[in-house]
């Protein structure tokens, strides 16, 4: 594996691989099995795997956890190499951003719900950094977790609306044995919060069961999930049931939907979701 910090160097190296397909896995590091499942699929489906690690300041609000975001570059390098990453791109902020930026990008309706509602500008930062990374790496496929369902939907819009010549693949959420979605931020949960955090997954299972049992009314499902979550000390940020990938409000479940929750604990805000068919079947991959 080659570790590269410089954009030009990476582009030069990748340009020598003519004819080989590149699968790209963008991350913010502090790698866990969720990231590695993306790598594993990228390896199966491409000749070369490029991973990036970049904690993107543009996608953090002024009161968010940019400084506290967990980082361990040396550990990440070992893990990435062990799992077969070919090029690990770790740029500095100065390498990625001009001191004075003249261009901004903006997400519209799809950013006004779920995480976007309480994180103004977050998805603008996400699509800005990904536009840069897609241009730098020029992959055929880029792999993202369905754990960040809104991000996945928005990236799909980005690629479609701006004609990026690559395909976005969304892959199912990797969980701890008890169901908690793996997340770099889980390290900031206290022991009690770690137990309580299970209610995100359990409440989604309950919501899914309602849909499987034929309940289609969105309010009924959302209220049931909220009742489940209220048993924790965490503060509910949102519980929403939207059509997917449009991310519009619905009254009745009649197409693919995302049932999504976010809960704020003392030092970590956790999100989880199920992307479900109208019959309540969990989707594991979105091409």
As a whole number of angstroms, the distance between CA 243 and CA 119 comes to 21
Q: Whose CA is closest to 239, among 274, 265, 187, 267? A: 274
Q: Whose CA is closest to 257, among 224, 229, 216? A: 216
Kindly state whether residue 13 participates in binding ligand AMP, applying the rule CB under 6 A: no
Q: How far is CA 194 from CA 171, 175, 178, in A?
A: 24, 13, 11
Among 4, 14, 24, 35, binds ligand AMP (CB under 6 A): 35
Kindly state whether residue 181 participates in binding ligand AMP, applying the rule CB under 6 A: yes
Q: How far is the CB of 66 from ligand AMP (least distance, A)?
A: 13
Kindly state whether residue 41 participates in binding ligand AMP, applying the rule CB under 6 A: no
As a whole number of angstroms, the distance between CA 81 and CA 69 comes to 22
User: Is the distance from CB of 32 to CB of 184 less than 8 angstroms?
Assistant: yes
Q: Map residues 95-134 to x or -, x wherever contact with ligand AMP holds by CB under 6 A.
A: ----------------------------------------
Q: Of 32-40, 99-107, 215-223, 261-269, which part binds ligand AMP (CB under 6 A)?
A: 32-40
Kindly state whether residue 28 participates in binding ligand AMP, applying the rule CB under 6 A: yes
As a whole number of angstroms, the distance between CA 130 and CA 78 comes to 24
- Catalytic (active site) residue 122: no
Q: How far is CA 95 from CA 29, 49, 62, 161, 253, in A?
A: 17, 21, 22, 27, 45
Kindly state whether residue 168 participates in binding ligand AMP, applying the rule CB under 6 A: no
Among 7, 113, 166, 174, binds ligand AMP (CB under 6 A): 174
As a whole number of angstroms, the distance between CA 187 and CA 278 comes to 35
Kindly state whether residue 273 participates in binding ligand AMP, applying the rule CB under 6 A: no
Q: Of 16-24, 34-42, 79-87, 234-242, which part binds ligand AMP (CB under 6 A)?
A: 34-42
Active site residue: 32, 35, 83, 122, which one? 35
User: Is the distance from CB of 278 to CB of 256 less than 8 angstroms?
Assistant: yes
Q: Which is nearer to ligand AMP, 38 or 159 (CB)?
A: 38
Q: Which is nearer to ligand AMP, 184 or 199 (CB)?
A: 184
Q: Which is nearer to ligand AMP, 53 or 218 (CB)?
A: 53
Just list the catalytic residues: 35
């Amino acid at each position: 594996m080659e570790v590269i910090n410089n954009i030009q160097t990476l582009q030069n190296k990748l340009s020598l691989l003519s004819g080989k397909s590149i699968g790209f896995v963008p991350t913010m590091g502090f790698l866990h099995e969720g990231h590695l499942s993306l790598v594993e699929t990228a390896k199966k489906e491409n000749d070369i795997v490029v991973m990036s690690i970049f904690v993107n300041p543009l996608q953090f609000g002024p009161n968010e956890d940019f400084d506290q975001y967990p980082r361990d570059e040396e550990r990440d390098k070992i893990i990435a190499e062990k799992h077969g990453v070919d090029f690990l791109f770790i740029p500095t902020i100065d390498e990625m951003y001009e001191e004075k930026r003249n261009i901004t990008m903006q997400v519209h309706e799809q950013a006004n719900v779920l995480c976007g509602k309480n994180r103004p500008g977050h998805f603008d930062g996400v699509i800005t950094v990904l536009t840069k990374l897609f241009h730098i790496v020029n992959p055929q496929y880029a792999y993202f977790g369905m754990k960040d369902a809104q991000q996945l939907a928005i990236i799909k819009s980005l690629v479609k609306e701006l004609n990026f010549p690559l395909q976005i693949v969304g892959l199912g959420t990797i969980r701890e044995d008890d169901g908690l979605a793996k997340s770099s931020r889980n390290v900031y949960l206290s022991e009690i919060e770690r137990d309580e955090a299970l209610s995100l997954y359990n409440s989604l299972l309950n919501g899914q069961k309602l849909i499987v049992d034929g309940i289609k009314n969105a309010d009924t499902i959302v209220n049931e999930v909220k009742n489940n979550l209220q048993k924790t000390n965490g503060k509910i940020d949102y519980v929403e049931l939207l059509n997917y990938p449009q991310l519009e409000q619905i009254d009745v479940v009649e197409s693919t939907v995302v049932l999504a929750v976010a809960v704020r604990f003392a030092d970590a805000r956790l999100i989880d979701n199920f992307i479900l068919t109208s019959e309540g079947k969990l989707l594991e991959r979105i091409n």
